[in-house]
Structure 1
């Protein structure tokens, strides 16, 4: 992280140098990815350069006289290889207030379900690259997490070893017949060795059949989606263990269904080396309208080596298997949405933070 006090950025800050600290941060991440895909869809056997979550942000803090601060950030997605067409401020971009209680922000930001994994299953959250990632809509874990463009968020300071986060998203989208507010909350414990936590999210008036891909933009009064998550971890002398269980539930046109998933990770860190293996499991849809063969499983094996404090090289192998009626993917879009497809993904790359 490099801190710049005004100077050449004074024009961007609008305020004088004495009033605000401005920070430029980011991460450049890219990998060489080899994909083998098989199943009912179009088979693939290809090698490509794939972005692994590159981004850049300009953030600022203006300290008040009473201990509070104004905080703000403009963050942008970058693509190093692969797709392009990114727009300014398309990631976490907000303004808010920071104090001893924590911070409150408004704008475009991750909801309290999205950020939950980093608090109580940090090793599962901290995958080495997007080729093994499994978080988000259409993927196996945390399908209701969202970066919302109209969200108010609260992240508490830690009180002892405990903390809470909360968010309300889709503010202002009431269309008269539906009010699709999104409520999310997380409570966690972290003492440096052990972590534990739980999260809940509800998407009100959101109409979506419980399938691999969930629609959070189709609105119908009375329908809803919910997510319940519990998890925890431990870190002893470099050995890591993380586990979680999640249930996603829906009420769709009077039919109530749910689908459970679980994950476990074991790993080890020593010096500049880190390795881990994880297993993710998605059960079938159950309830009023069960769907047989709608689950999936994913296995990851990955490691990295730190070349310096900021730069590392990584390698990973991912195996994702969909049941006949499931079309889950991982973050680089493999497999490509056809039910029953399977994929092997090998990735070798480099990442540097600044």
Structure 2
């Protein structure tokens, strides 16, 4: 190839290189060893229904993303992002040995941002609690572990077919509003079309290390069964001068045990409540009892506290969560709550790499349920 051809080839590549100049590749690789004896563990339960202990190599929510923007002038930018979940343990999260992770499994969107009015995005988007809260849960762990506050943060998620507006910051105050469309509008058991659209509001104040945040989400159709209807969460605390303190309180209302603290334990409690219904109502079948429970309103309440302090490269954390006894149609379900403790230690090897270890324990108030325990030790790297 002569010099003229080389020059032409370079010239041809330059527009493509310029077009890619604003693309940022980023992510986190997180994972480690865990020993889990939990109701969510893939090891399952023994013949008496008690969780079994298992040694596991688990992914701790690794991800890779691509994002960019274009300056449109007058303080206006076009923004976009495609973020993807990856499992470094070679599974898809179900421990079946196969991986089906695809693009846009995490926050992925296109939108506009302005210097004075905030930003608006559409796509697959986090609710406010998922990306702007979780101060009470700073740790790393798998879905099978109780080494973090996964039960407390169980509704922190993403919404498909969503549009979200985030305000600018006004002297520490900001807010966000998300709408998720129900595009299928499927028919319920009576043949009527449902409308399970989602509304989510988030409010925030931050100043000099102090913060206060509020999340409200509503799932529109009140006729939904065995599902969540509405949810409130408040978080407040302080994060500065090496001290980390975060308090959280939330209340969730739904139908049946679809919004219970733990879905597997929820099934056990559902069966116990159904048995009680059948004992008190001779002739009532199991199916009728379950239908009655699924139509009954369940309310759960939880409080969480996390405290941490940084000594050089070390940051130890302690968390406590109290799950109060749930109520079904206003009647308290005795011994349906839980207490959880988590001890954790984060050691910063560098600004981007950490060693993290934790031990967590959950004690259910119902004496027929076993105590759950988890230990984890692993690495986190950001790029």
Normalising by structure 1, we get a TM-score of 0.80
* Distance apart, 1:37 and its partner CA: 4.4
Which of 287, 308, 312 pairs up with 1:267?
Answer: 308
CA distance in 2, matches of 1:53, 1:197: 24
The range that moved more, 74-83 or 274-283, is 74-83
Q: Does 1:346 pair with 2:361?
A: no
Q: 2:167 aligned to 130, 145, 156, which one?
A: 156
Partner of 2:49: 41
By percentage of residues, which structure has more strand?
1
| Backbone CA RMSD of aligned residues | 2.6
Matched, 1:129 2:141: yes
Q: Structure 2 unaligned runs (5+)? A: 1-11, 40-44, 93-98, 187-191, 257-293
What do residues 41-64 of structure 1 show as CA deviations (whole Å, max 9, x unaligned)? Answer: 253222111101110001111110
2:200 aligned residue (184, 201, 210):
184
Deviation at 1:161, TM superposition (A): 0.7
- Return the offset for 1:251: 5.8
Corresponding residue for 1:194?
210
- Structure 1 residues 49, 94: closer, same or farther in 2, change over 3 A? same
Equivalence map 1:89-104=2 (5 Å): 89-100=104-115, 101-104=117-120
Report the number of matched residues: 309
Q: Deviations over 1:214-239 (max 9, x none)?
A: x36xxxxxxxx111122200135212
Greater RCO, CA 8 A, separation 6+: 1
- Aligned equivalent of 2:77: 69
For residue 30 of structure 2, what is the aligned residue in structure 1? 29
Looking at structure 1, the residues matched to 70 and 36 of structure 2 have their Cα atoms a distance apart, in angstroms, of: 47
CA contact (8 A) 2:50 2:369 kept: no
Q: Deviations over 1:294-349 (max 9, x none)?
A: 21221111011111111111111011223439xxxxxxxxxxxxx82432111110
Q: Structure 2 length normalisation: TM-score? A: 0.74
Q: Deviations over 1:69-126 (max 9, x none)?
A: 11111111111115232122211111111112221111111112323415xxx2x242
Tell me which residue corresponds to 2:235: 231
1:115 maps to what in 2? Answer: 131
Unmatched segments (≥5 aa) in structure 1: 1-9, 210-214, 217-224, 326-338
